[in-house]
Amino acid sequence: MPVSVRRAGREDLPEIIAIEEASFSVPWSHQALAAELENRTARYYVLEREDGTVAAYADVWFIADEGQLANIAVRPDCRGLGYGEILLRTAMEALFEEGCTTFFLEVRQSNVQAKGLYRKLGYEDVAVRKGYYTQPDEDACIMNCKKENYQWLGHLE
């Protein structure tokens, strides 16, 4: 099924909230998600399926020359279709075009699937943040991807 990625707007908030609540044991509050849409450093992206439904969203921050993946989630019934990679690549490449030189993220140590995707894109482990996640208690792996290490697909090289 064809998909497209676009910048999110307030009209996407109900679907972003639904994806957030279905994806995380401690989801961001409705107020926090709404505030992020107004945050000047945040860039929200949504991945839409051909039928117009939002299947995934990503929240990335751009400060100075650094990007930060604040959040990314895919609807449970849409996982395993490559949507997370499409969405993250689109967001990263948009920020690289704006002048970003490196991206950072935190990921649960146990999230082998996500860490595999991040490594595929060019991310490397840089540190461990002890006790970052509280429910359940778990360390975070801090990863970064420098623009020169990003594994481009060829459309923005």
Domains and CATH numbers, the chain: 3-149 (3.40.630.30)
**Confidence band (pLDDT; 50, 70, 90) for 1?**
low
Residue with tokens 């910048």: 7
Position 47 scores a pLDDT of 98
Predicted TM-score (pTM) of this structure: 0.91
Contacts of 114 (CB under 8 A, 6+ apart): 84, 107, 108
Position 82 scores a pLDDT of 94
User: Is a pLDDT exceeding 50 seen at residue 157?
Assistant: no
**Confidence band (pLDDT; 50, 70, 90) for 152?**
confident
**Confidence band (pLDDT; 50, 70, 90) for 154?**
low
Please give the positions annotated as active site. 106, 118
> What's the rounded mean pLDDT across residues 122-135?
93
Position 156 scores a pLDDT of 42
> What's the rounded mean pLDDT across residues 24-47?
93
Higher pLDDT, 1 or 91: 91
Element (H, E) at 131: strand 124-134
- Nearest of 44, 66, 56 to residue 86 by alpha carbon: 56
- Nearest of 143, 119, 118, 142 to residue 130 by alpha carbon: 142
User: Is a pLDDT exceeding 50 seen at residue 33?
Assistant: yes
- Long-range (24+ apart) CB contacts under 8 A made by 20-29 are 20/57, 20/71, 20/73, 22/73, 22/75, 22/76, 23/73, 23/74, 23/75, 23/76, 24/73, 25/135, 25/136, 26/134, 26/135, 28/71
